[in-house]
Amino acid sequence: MSIIPKTVHPDLQKERYNASFDVEEFAMWWHGGEEKLKFKRFLESYVLDDLDENAFRFQNLSHEDIYNSAVNDFIRLATKLRELQEKLNPGGTDIWPAYHSEPEVWGAIPAGNMFSVHLEMVVDCIRQQGTDEQFQKFGVPSQKLQIGGAYAQTELGHGTFVRGLETRADFDRDTDEFVLNTPTITAYKWWPGGLGHSANYCIVAANLYIDNEPKGLAMFMVPLRDMETHMPLPGIDVGDIGKRMGFAGVNNGFLGLKDVRIPRTNMLMRHSQVHRDGTFVQSPVPVLTYFTMVFVRCLIVRNMSTLLSIAATIATRYSAVRRQSPINPNDPEPQIIDHVTQQKKLFPEIANSIAYKLATTEVKKLYGQTSEDIKRGEFGRLPEMHALSCILKVLCTTASMTGIETLRLACGGHGYLVSSNMSNLYADAAASCTYEGENTVLLLQVGRFLMKSYPRAMAGKELVPTVAYLSEAIKHRTIEKWTGSWQDIIKALQISAANKISIAYENLTARRKAGQTEGEAANNTGIELTQAAELHGICFVVSTFFEEVKGLNSEKRSPALNKVLEDLLELFLVSTALKYMHEILRVIELSDDNLRSLQERLENVLKFVRLNAVAICDGFDYHDKTLKSTLGCYDGNVYERIFEEAKRSPLNKMPVPEVIHTHLKPFMKSNL
């Protein structure tokens, strides 16, 4: 019998009563409008409401049982979503697979989805890289999950450095086939989600050879398993790589290929082709091969900002319920959310999650525009789109990982419990810092993009929108009269970024002139390049946040909601300015009073956000089964949930575990 009360904890109830804005309006803004919020709640209810609570205790299972559980969870979810498709659009185009990726259904697959890569990446890769005929052959069955796919790019010995991949595909003219091999152990494909035992097909990234001449990277649709028996096909060595920090049920795998033959038409040939006679047609823009990675990085930013807001919801609700450490010696123990140091842990992470959610919206718009441009044969925005997706992936994953850990620590000892869900959130966020592009390598790629943009800015040439600020920042390299306004802070960050880009460019140029090769000069300038890239990305994020809060969209919102968003913007901008003050002071002269003013503003805005923190997290509108946390449920009955979860531990099924009788008791009597 459950000991959890049916009522909401009074401290949480008080927080909600005292909020200064309408939570429902915030939720509509956060989720993109009334209709989207309505559908989101319908989808959650449809998928989650009848779930057994035991579905969230996968951490007590073995690795094999976790996978078995994840398969069953996936089948249940897929079946429900397919039924939903029939209800919403009978006989229409299959749109239900897209729902698998939405945060609203994450709670239905708590151990992770072994087909998430298939649904988020494989289908899009076939669409973007394959011909229309290939999409009909491979893409449509993939959408229907008649094919279960994986995306195999990373190898045991090579990750982000794609040109170094060892897997090769040799064209055999006599048979009109490609012969694929992983010639060394380091060439084995490693990490793809679903590859272990779930997928029966795989997109393999391999270096293409014709007559033993390298032609560059290409993508190949490779069958892995018999469609009836699911046994690996000849030449296929495939399996699961074992336990990881996170994504317990995703079935990450390895793949070795030994003289595996596939038809020539299994090479994805929208942009580059191999004809029957062996003629190779180069892609008009070779980087198009990696465009799917751009799409995935956009998804990562969305997912990681979501994880951060989930963690912020858990920690904020817990901080409103937990009481400890009187501020005045004779006072009752206050809610720990009243401690300013606790507010400093919590509230900036709420603002960070909002900042990156807004950045996600903008980068998705640019991705859509770039996709349409590519269809028309226009490739001019590809470098900008690539650089933006790289830097946002870096900034958001890093902010989410460090932010979730800060929020876990804000929950004290109870944050260490697996049942808090903080460890799972942290592990998933930490993994994102290395998959789909290791973060430092991505920073260096953005740095190279900036090194091409800077001389254009110096020459007064037109720049793409995301670096257009450089022109103005180069003309006006400081702020003559600092007022501390939001515009001043944004401008200060832009000038700081321009200064850092300038330093990197000057050092890179000087090293070249000193006789270093291009590679040596870039390597030795790596620190400056990564710092410049980081500041450049921050400029995009702060500008996007500012435009949302103070732009035309503000006219559609109530004054009360606008005030809350302005407080969060103030918190984000002031926190960001203080974080990068060492860079700002290199270009702008600030007095001690200016710096004290920023610190005072930080302390003041924490008080304003304190009034609404719980309500803001309510506005994120996460279902309890999405939060999966004893600390973060809507009702706030933390201690009862912690205790009930402890009671359910498998070790507590018997008052005396068998090992006590068989091993420990005899040992204790052995008079060692």
pLDDT band at 580 (very low <50, low <70, confident <90, very high): very high
Contact 349, 617 (CB under 8 A): no
Phi and psi, residue 254, nearest 5°: -120, 160
pLDDT band at 373 (very low <50, low <70, confident <90, very high): confident
pLDDT band at 97 (very low <50, low <70, confident <90, very high): low
pLDDT band at 90 (very low <50, low <70, confident <90, very high): confident
Global model pTM greater than 0.85: yes
Give tens-digit pLDDT for 20-30.
Answer: 999 999 999 99
Q: Average pLDDT of 199-209?
A: 96
DSSP-derived 3-state class of residue 213:
strand
Q: Token pair of 366, please?
A: 């640019």
Give tens-digit pLDDT for 460-519.
Answer: 999 999 999 999 998 888 888 899 999 999 999 999 999 999 999 999 999 999 999 999
Q: Which of these, 609, 6, 632, 622, lies nearest to 317 by C-alpha position?
A: 632
Q: Which of these, 562, 468, 101, lies nearest to 306 by C-alpha position?
A: 101
**C-alpha neighbours within 13 Å on the C-beta side of residue 655:** 0
Phi and psi, residue 150, nearest 5°: -135, 165
Contact 134, 70 (CB under 8 A): no
Give residue 51's identity as a one-letter amino acid code. Answer: L
Please check if 154 is assigned to a binding site: yes
Q: Collect contacts of 595-599 with beta carbons under 8 A, ≥24 apart.
A: 597/484, 598/484, 598/574
Contact 465, 383 (CB under 8 A): no
Would residue 436 show up in a list of annotated catalytic residues for this protein? yes
Q: Average pLDDT of 111-121?
A: 89
Give residue 636's identity as a one-letter amino acid code. Answer: G
pLDDT band at 55 (very low <50, low <70, confident <90, very high): low
Residue extent(s) of CATH 1.20.140.10 domains in the chain: 1-32+288-671
Q: Token pair of 659, please?
A: 């090992």
Interatomic CA distance for residues 298 and 300, integer angstroms: 5
Residue extent(s) of CATH 2.40.110.10 domains in the chain: 148-283
Chain-centroid distance of CA 602 in Å reads 28
**C-alpha neighbours within 13 Å on the C-beta side of residue 579:** 12
Cβ atoms within 10 Å of 308's Cβ, excluding its own: 29
Q: Collect contacts of 172-177 with beta carbons under 8 A, ≥24 apart.
A: 172/261, 173/277, 173/278, 175/261, 176/263, 176/264, 176/276, 177/261, 177/262, 177/263, 177/264
Q: Average pLDDT of 314-332?
A: 94
Give residue 173's identity as a one-letter amino acid code. Answer: R
């963690």: which residue's tokens? 311
* pLDDT given for residue 291 in this prediction: 75
User: Alpha helix (H) ranges present in 179-289?
Assistant: none
Interatomic CA distance for residues 160 and 657, integer angstroms: 48
* pLDDT given for residue 660 in this prediction: 92
Chain-centroid distance of CA 212 in Å reads 39
Spell out a b/e string for 114-141, using b for 16 or more CB atoms within 10 Å of the CB, else e. Answer: bbbbbbbbbbbbbbbbbeeebbebbbee
Is residue 292 scored above 90 in pLDDT? no
- Find the helix packing angle between 340-375 and 526-550, rounded to 10°: 90
Q: Token pair of 152, please?
A: 């195999």
């996007």: which residue's tokens? 544
Is residue 248 scored above 70 in pLDDT? yes
* pLDDT given for residue 244 in this prediction: 87
* pLDDT given for residue 280 in this prediction: 94
Please check if 360 is assigned to a binding site: no
* pLDDT given for residue 82 in this prediction: 86
Chain-centroid distance of CA 356 in Å reads 10
Give tens-digit pLDDT for 272-283.
Answer: 999 999 999 998
Q: Which of these, 394, 403, 359, lies nearest to 535 by C-alpha position?
A: 394
* pLDDT given for residue 477 in this prediction: 87
Indicate which residue of 15, 155, 436, 583 is catalytic.
Answer: 436
The CATH homologous superfamily for domain 1-32+288-671 is: Butyryl-CoA Dehydrogenase, subunit A, domain 3 (1.20.140.10)
Q: Average pLDDT of 595-615?
A: 97
Q: Please tell me the class of the 148-283 domain.
A: mainly beta
DSSP state of 9: P
